[in-house]
Amino acid sequence: MGDMEKLQKKRAVARGWATRKSNVLKGLLNNPDVSVIDLQAAMDDFDQRLASLEKVQTILELETDLVNLDEELDSASEFFQEVRKPRLQAAQRLGDMMKGEQRDSSSSSSPSKRSSSSKIANVKLPKLELPKFNGDVTLWQSFWDHFKTHVHEADIPVITKFSYLQSLLEGRAKGVVKGFAHTEANYQIACDLLKRRFGRPECIKLKHVQALLNSRFSKKGKGPKYVSSLGSLLDELLTHIRSLQALGVTEEQCEVFLTPLILSCLPEELRLEWAREGSGRESDISWLLQFLQKEIERIERSETFKVALGKAEGRFVESEKKSAVCISSLDIV
């Protein structure tokens, strides 16, 4: 049995356990007299089995070839959404049960505490231009950092946080939490689900590497468009490389494949220049990026000088024309 077959068998076993624990939750939800303790225990059991499944699923995805990766991810997403439905319903049921207990205990609370809670509930966020997230895993960390700072950790009602979250999701990301009841209990579940779907470090690393593999440089010759295109390529490379470094991938780990990859994106004249100047630094990715930055600055200075020289020549020609006119006038006189 091959490695992939073993992984698929482990995944099948993990899915079986997750399905069984999901069915247990279904049974408890059909019991109107279920206790908080029993429901919480069943949810914990389900979460443990789901975590085991996610570990196997992650390993399997890393072994899946790039051609079939999207199909594998979509299939896994469908299974996770289906098996989590009873878990989401159980969380909502548990939240309602806990609210009932809180209402009973808060009926004897002091007016000052109720007034304080009312003030917190009335807090409103200022209008923020937060980035939206469409399911591109390479953009997840940036999106979540902004959302966590401005909304998730803000002193506002949970239901308001959920509203902001739903308004910022698009495309595949919105589909992950589609159908969630707009309740406080579902907010944290939605956040956890999004993190598991789009925030797994290994998947993010893989997508950044894929983006680097797909990097292209199409402009030829010189001029402003050439400089702009070269600058865009450098910005794109730096974005992916810095993101990989933030995920714990060091330059030493990735420069062996990144250096030839970046060089393949460059026009021939730049590769020749790099070969002349970079002797002994063939695998040094930091030096290569610095070389690109210096090349952009050099071309920009050259273009600036060319424009200034053109203007000077234009003024000289115009001056010559005026002189010729004056001389002609004198000859006539």
Q: How far apart are CA 30 and CA 13, in angstroms?
A: 26
Residue 193, amino acid:
L
- CB of 288 within 8 A of CB of 263? yes
Q: Which pLDDT score, from 0 to 100, does residue 263 have?
A: 76
> Could you give the angle at which helices 66-106 and 3-29 cross, rounded to 10 degrees?
20
Strand partners, 133: 169
Q: Which pLDDT score, from 0 to 100, does residue 238 have?
A: 76
In the chain, what percentage of residues exceed pLDDT 70? 72
Q: Which pLDDT score, from 0 to 100, does residue 119 have?
A: 47
Is residue 188 packed enough to be buried (19+ CB in 10 Å), middle (13-18) or exposed (0-12)? middle
Place of tokens 């690109």: 292
DSSP string for 36-75: HHHHHHHHHHHHHHHHHHHHHHHHHHHHS-HHHHHHHHHH
Mean per-residue pLDDT, 16-39: 89
Residue 105, amino acid:
S
Q: How far apart are CA 288 and CA 259, in angstroms?
A: 8
Q: How far apart are CA 260 and CA 283, in angstroms?
A: 8
End-to-end CA distance of the chain: 106
Q: Which residue has the higher pLDDT, 235 or 117?
A: 235
Q: Give the tens place of pLDDT for each residue, 106-139.
A: 554 455 544 544 444 455 544 557 889 988 888 8
DSSP string for 245-261: HHTT--HHHHHHHHHHH
Average pLDDT, the chain: 76
Which DSSP state fits 200? -
pLDDT band at 102 (very low <50, low <70, confident <90, very high): low
Mean per-residue pLDDT, 57-85: 83
Question: Rg of the chain over CA atoms, in angstroms?
Answer: 31
Indicate the fold that domain 1-101 takes in CATH. Answer: Methane Monooxygenase Hydroxylase; Chain G, domain 1 (1.20.58)
Angle among Cα 77, 131, 138 to the nearest 5 degrees reads 50
Q: How far apart are CA 259 and CA 9, in angstroms?
A: 38
Length of the chain: 333
Q: How far apart are CA 257 and CA 95, in angstroms?
A: 50
> Could you give the angle at which helices 251-265 and 285-332 cross, rounded to 10 degrees?
40
Phi, psi of 309 (to 5 degrees): -65, -40
> What are the residue ranges spanned by the domains of the chain?
1-101, 123-198, 215-303
- CB of 81 within 8 A of CB of 176? yes
Q: Which pLDDT score, from 0 to 100, does residue 76 have?
A: 84
- Name the nearest CA neighbour of 59 among 203, 197, 196: 203
- CB of 168 within 8 A of CB of 223? no
Q: Give the tens place of pLDDT for each residue, 266-313.
A: 777 777 878 787 777 766 777 877 887 887 777 777 766 555 555 555
Token readout for 129 is 């231009």
Place of tokens 């730096």: 238
Which DSSP state fits 124? -
pTM over cut 0.95? no
For 236, the enclosing helix (H) or strand (E) is helix 224-246
How many CA atoms within 13 Å lie on the side-chain side of 321? 6
- CB of 283 within 8 A of CB of 259? yes
